[in-house]
Amino acid sequence: MFHDLDIGGVLVSPFLAYAAGALLLLVLLRRLFAGLRLSRYVANPPLAEAGIYVCLLALLIVFL
């Protein structure tokens, strides 16, 4: 687990690093999913992306 990040004298929660990492992974997965045209298999693609983001964030928190 990460400790607090010191950015210019301001302590930042490690949760922000996890959230940024999950967002980066989501952007990469969105490109992959767009190439495979997987959005046609879900009823509400933005809701599915939000669910994937939450799952990625939880996985990063648990495993890092």
Q: Name, in order, each residue with C-beta under 8 angstroms of 11's C-beta and a sequence gap of 6 or more.
A: 4, 5
- Tell me the domain boundaries of the chain: 5-63
CA distance 12 to 31: 30
Q: What is the pLDDT of residue 1?
A: 63
Sequential pLDDT tens for the chain (64 residues) = 678 888 899 998 999 989 999 999 999 999 999 999 999 999 999 999 999 999 999 999 999 8
SS3 56: helix
